[in-house]
Amino acid sequence: MKKFLFPFVLLSFLVNPAFAQKKNKKSEEPLKIIFQLTTDDTLAHKALMKQLSNITSVEPGVQIEVVCHGPGLTLLQKSKSTQKAKVAEFAGKGISFKACEFSMSERNVPKEDILDEAGFVKAGIVHIVRKQREGWNYIKSGF
């Protein structure tokens, strides 16, 4: 019986470090976070900017994208945003901001009213789901 179990015990010790190395490599990859913003609450916008600041201060190399749709578009509107300077600051640090074109159309928001630092996606929710398929971590922003 001992002769039968010995190879399995030995194999478990040999295989276990291989899994540990693979896990460590995965944990060394930069975080990828996609935020969904759907509220026009300016306190939520301010809180999101604070979250972005906190994350980037402790996680160098993090990839972050903020997708704004529905009422959340106001974060990116030149005529309504209370966080223009912060959006510009974070965009300069590589954080991506996206406006949903479906929401823009529904709310009659022209592209000219979207901050220059922002990009566009056709459908915000579809974009978020695709990012999740690519391994991005989803965070719903707001209260």
* CATH code of 133's domain: 3.40.1260.10
What band does 8 get if pLDDT is binned at 50, 70 and 90? very low
- Phi (first) and psi of residue 64, to 5 degrees: -130, 135
24 lies in some domain: no
119 lies in some domain: yes
- Residue 59, pLDDT score: 96
- Say how far apart CA 69 and CA 106 lie, in whole Å: 10
23 lies in some domain: no
Query: Mean pLDDT across the chain, nearest whole number?
Result: 89
Number of Cβ atoms within 10 Å of the Cβ of 18: 9
Q: State how many domains the chain has.
A: 1
Q: Measuring CA to CA, which residue among 78, 74, 58, 64 is closest to residue 131?
A: 64
Q: Measuring CA to CA, which residue among 72, 68, 85, 66 is closest to residue 41?
A: 72
Q: What range does the domain containing 35 cover?
A: 29-141
22 lies in some domain: no
Tokens, residue 41: 């609450």
Tokens, residue 29: 């990859």
Residues forming a β-bridge with 138: 34
8 lies in some domain: no
Q: Could you read off the pLDDT of 15-42 as tens digits, one per residue?
A: 455 544 555 556 678 999 999 999 999 9
4 lies in some domain: no
1 lies in some domain: no
Statement: residue 47 has pLDDT above 90: yes
Report the percentage of the chain scoring pLDDT > 90: 78
Alpha-carbon dihedral of residues 142, 122, 110, 94, nearest 10 degrees?
A: 60
Model pTM score: 0.81
111 lies in some domain: yes
